[in-house]
Each structure stands twice: as structure tokens, then as C-alpha cells.
Structure 1
């Protein structure tokens, strides 16, 4: 992008890294047979995002973005998605020092304030693009949001950050919005927020039965009522790598996006499908995320006036997430710098063999939305 007015913005606030998800060993609360961890403990550590920020500064990538620390999302905007009763309950428990409104979403002191700040980064990015101030924006969100239901937190997610921003963008005049979620876990919360709404198309590309465990994110989940057909789920086999994701993008995701013809595209850029993530069993590398980012940017340029927002949520491998996110950000800024992914050759060598790929892509070809 050569026009200075089209420089992408990067929405990040240091205080979001101060969110505490409680004392756990990976994802299990300490107590009983679960010993206190020797290291960082809870999988939702701030380190992957903190290390990304450090890498961006050292590599000079920050110079390709306008860095913005957006304010907290205001209560009245949160209420476009969340009932007042849930928000009151969350704030009350936060004021009391924290706790858990759901077993998979514990939080510590100031959880309410930091969650509002996290939602604010997403809101700021989306509203800059919705207003025409930017064509592209990126937001770092912690705590994440794509598992949060309107009336209940889940899976480290306290507020439905992207859903909140979608409603704000629509209030500002953006009509049809597509939310593509390639986080390795099913985007059940965002889907639930718009289940019967044909103006919002939710697409989730995820590891089958990973989280929420069980049938969440099955191909048969396609929406409800007036929203029937406006939810799309693409569950992938554990162990899927680069080629399977590219096939799903080429033959299912992008054709469905073209059919919907959104006015804006929001991507939940979960990076936990990386090959060494502790909470998943997929085999993507930084060039996988770069390739998918290029695909969605090209789609946005051709179909929704370039309007694209990418929101970083999941991703728990401290050493590897920064390289995957850095590749995404380079594509978003049309900038290539000196950073080389030191894990790339290793992960490429770990890709599934031809028999797995043939079987998996044959299974994918039976998806109801597959298009040759």
C-alpha cells in the first residue's frame, strides 16, 4: 500500500497482558491431584503476545503500522451482545478479586477492566475500518473472545470481543459482515451470537472436537431460523497440516465468502494451529498463516473494498506464536523484513504424508460446501 492514508493500524494495550487467568497447570485448576506448576502455569500466558510485540520492535515491523492503544469498550456497546445481568455478575465478581463464572474461564483481580480494554482494542480496529479511516487493521486481544456466549464466559474468553465490534460496525452503517475464524478451536461463541442473523456470516476452520469438546463445530451446524445457512463449520482431522488447510480455504472457505459478498471481513487470527501449540494437534507453520492471510487480503481487495480486520486471539506456544503472527502482520502491511522463522524447516519436515493428505482431502471433499 503506497497511500499513507491506507497504512494499517495495530491496536494493542500493554495492560491487556496483565490479565490473570488464575493458578492452573496448563488448563486445570491447581488442587487435588494437580500440583502447582513450576513455570508459567496456565496456558493463557501473556508471553506469546508479549514476545510478538518485542519481535516487532526489534525487527522494525512496528514502523509499518500506526500503533494505537484504544480505550476500553463502553458498557452500552457491550450490551449490544451481552445482557446486563451477565455484565453485572462479571463486574461484581471482578470487584471482589476474581473467580470463575465458568470452569474454563477463571480470572483474577481487575478482570472486568482488562476484558473491557481487550474488547476495546478490537472495537477500535473495526471502527477505524468501518469509518473508512483505514482499509486494514490488526488488534491484539487478551482475554480472547470467540468462545464467550452472550450470557456466559468460556474457554479463557470473558467478552465476545469480535461480536461486540460487529454490532458497532453495523450500527455505523456496514451491512453484511463475514467473520472467518481459523483459531484451532471452534468459534462457538461468535457463532452463537449471530446464529439466526443472515447479515453476519460466521465461518470456523478448526480441529475436530478439540474445544469445546464433542460435537461443537460439526458440519451440520449451519445456523437457525433466518440465519440458516449463515454459519459454516469446517472441522479438520487432528494432525492436519499446510496442504489440508489450503484445500479447505480454496474449496470451501473462499467460495463461501464470495457467495456471501460481505461489506467487511473480520478474521479471528488464532495461531494455535501451529505445530507446537500445547492445546492442539495441528501442524501449521508461519508460512501457512502467511498464505492464508494473503488469500483473505486478496479477497477483501476484490470483494469488500479492502476492508479487513485481523484479531489475534488464541495461540499458546510462547516461542513460536510470535513468528506466525509476524508473518501475518508482514502480509497485512505489504512489508517483508529480515526476520526468518527458525522453526520453519523443522515443521515442514513434520507435515503429514501423502496417504494422510489424500484421505483427509477426500473427506473434506464431502463437505456440503466443497466446490471444485
Structure 2
């Protein structure tokens, strides 16, 4: 555990009110096909239980609460066009809500306002970290944001939460350099889309290879125009555990951050890359996420690290993943992982086929701009 740091924390009960309705997995319920309705995978339970464990463990007493707020229309327009905001708000005002546009991003009445609060919460944390109010912090928000592209919502995400927050930081702090790291099991295609042409933002995504979206997240996607060579994808084989992720962080992520020399590190944190998640086939543990956080803290030149919540769909285990990340950020330990037997699963070691994929991604570092 690191020394104690001033760690910010953002959460609002309204995030639990984002209603994604019922589904049969990824499909609409359909009795004719035997598809019985059930909760949408992206429901409130996991995030509420993360917050409740933070409270019950007593860690909440050592965190600086940062009030959530709604993002302004001006802030939203830094990433999304007014045409999308207008159409999404119209859907949100319907009695039964609707979808953000891709058929996989449901919202109920009032979902637009909950979405703007998620954006505002991430922005408030980013501002608190950059200003020095806190050393680091975690924004536990919902709906998630890392799949939303500039033109609209996608994959449960209404707005690009992190993309907008960092665009606000860039607007208010000219010349600032930012590195983003996405450890969600799915490719951070939305964050990549927002900053693909931006030389001042390094975007790194570690994800299960070709899981979602299936046509993105390849190593060949390296940015374009002024942002050429500032986008790094590390597609990992299904079954990658702590050993593979740690190797990727040590061989690619940390060296890339040190070379790019950012003023702020921002993480898109999805716990669907954990060993028990129903939507991924990766094997990270709570201690594994803490180790990745430790590596990022060591790579930061000024302790300025912010984390925005994304996916994670196991309501029993995800809370411990969240708690362990916050314990690492704050330097305060409250609980052990009762599921730590997962540390000894055979798949937790680094395998040669995983090493190969990471080593291929490491070749991208030579072209990364050197700002040291």
C-alpha cells in the first residue's frame, strides 16, 4: 500500500435511477423465441453495491466527497453535435423513453438528465485533480461513457463522459497533456474517436481481442493527422489474467506514459475484465486492479490520476474490485479480498501467446512522440 493521499470520490444516488429496462441478455425479450425478460446487464445493482461497500467498509470516511453536478450544454457540445443532444433529449422526454440510437443503449424518461450528471461528475473530479484540491480520485458514475462516439451513443453509453471531461480540462488549461488508459474488457472506441486527431492526448486501451465493438481496437489504429502515433491498442487474448495485464502495463502502458509525459492520467475503469464477469472472459482480480493502479501512480510525475467508472456486471465481485482500487489510491486498507483464491487460478500467470501480443503492441512505442 502506498502512503496516504488525498483521494476524491464522486457518487450520486441518481445514477442508480438510470433505467435500462429488461432484456434477455443482449436481445429483446421474445416469447416466440423462448427469450424470457430479465434485467439488462447494465443495471444499477453493481454500482450501488460498489458504493455501499465503500461506505460499509469505512473507507468513505477517508475520502473527500466531491459533489456531482450536471454538465452544461456548452460542455456537452465540446464533443457531441447539437443534433444528437436534441434527438436524445426528445427520446428522454417520452413517457417510455427509448434508445440512444444504436439499438443497444436504452434509456427511460429522464435518462438524459442522469447522463448529464454522469458527465458532470467525471468533469468535477477532473477539475478537482487538476486544481490540486485532491491528489487523485474515483468517479463512480452511471451510465458509462467509453463507447459513445462524437456522433452519438453506443453500447450502453449516452455521452462520452471522459471525453467531455477531458475536453473541458483542455479548454481551461491550454497546452495540457493527458494520457488515458482503459482497462474495461471492451475496446474504448469512444474515447479513441474523440481524441484520434489530438496530439495532446495519448489514448491506450487494453481489451479482450475483438469482443466489442468487433471491428475496432486493433493495433493498426494509431491515430491520424496531428494525433498520429498517439493511440495505442493492446488487444489481449481471452483468458488473460493478472500476469498478462501486469506485463502489458510494465512493457507498454508505463513506458508510453513516461515518454508522453502527461500532466494528468485518466483511467476508464471497467471491472468487466474481472475473473467473474458475465460479459468478458478475462481473469483480473481485485488485487490485480490494485496493482495496475499502483503502476499508474508510479508512472505519474505529479500524482494527478483520475478514474472514471465504466462497465462491470458481477454485482458480488465488482464491489471488491472498486474497493481495492480506492484503497490503492488513498493508501488506506480496510478489507481483504474474500475471493482471493482466484489469485491462484492457473490462468493468472503470463502465457507466451499473451506475451507475443503485448510485445507486438510495444513496437508502437518507438513512434510515440517523446515529451520528456
Regarding TM over 0.5, the answer is yes
Cα offsets for 1:21-41 (capped at 9, x unmatched)? 122122222225253335xx2
Deviation at 1:366?
Answer: 2.6
Determine if contact 1:241/1:351 at 8 Å carries over to the other structure.
Answer: no
Q: What is the alpha-carbon distance in structure 1 between the residues aligned to residue 294 and residue 316 of structure 2?
A: 23
Structure 2 counterpart of 1:341: 337
Report the CA distance shift for 1:34/1:11 in structure 2 as closer, same or farther (over 3 A). Answer: farther
Q: What is the alpha-carbon distance in structure 2 between the residues aligned to residue 363 and residue 120 of structure 1?
A: 36
Q: Indicate which of 261, 282, 307 corresponds to 1:310.
A: 307
Moved over 6 A (4+): none
Q: Indicate which of 81, 85, 91 corresponds to 1:93.
A: 91
Q: What is the alpha-carbon distance in structure 1 between the residues aligned to residue 346 and residue 327 of structure 2?
A: 24
Deviation at 1:353?
Answer: 7.4
Structure 2 counterpart of 1:320: 317
SS at match of 2:204: strand
Q: What is the alpha-carbon distance in structure 2 between the residues aligned to residue 370 and residue 2 of structure 1?
A: 31
Query: Pairwise mapping of residues 62-73 of structure 1 onto structure 2 (< 5 A)?
Result: 62-73=60-71
RMSD (CA atoms):
1.7
Q: What is the alpha-carbon distance in structure 1 between the residues aligned to residue 234 and residue 359 of structure 2?
A: 11
Q: What is the alpha-carbon distance in structure 1 between the residues aligned to residue 178 and residue 357 of structure 2?
A: 29
Query: Pairwise mapping of residues 287-298 of structure 1 onto structure 2 (< 5 A)?
Result: 287-298=287-298
How many residue pairs match? The answer is 360
Gapped regions of structure 1 (runs ≥ 5) = none
Report the CA distance shift for 1:307/1:363 in structure 2 as closer, same or farther (over 3 A). Answer: closer
Query: What is the TM-score of this pair, normalised by structure 1?
Result: 0.93
Q: What is the alpha-carbon distance in structure 2 between the residues aligned to residue 34 and residue 114 of structure 1?
A: 33
Q: What is the alpha-carbon distance in structure 2 between the residues aligned to residue 218 and residue 191 of structure 1?
A: 12
SS at match of 1:189: helix
Determine if contact 1:19/1:107 at 8 Å carries over to the other structure.
Answer: yes
Report the CA distance shift for 1:353/1:280 in structure 2 as closer, same or farther (over 3 A). Answer: closer
Q: What is the alpha-carbon distance in structure 1 between the residues aligned to residue 365 and residue 180 of structure 2?
A: 19
Q: Indicate which of 348, 358, 363 corresponds to 1:364.
A: 358
Determine if contact 1:25/1:34 at 8 Å carries over to the other structure.
Answer: no
Report the CA distance shift for 1:280/1:67 in structure 2 as closer, same or farther (over 3 A). Answer: same
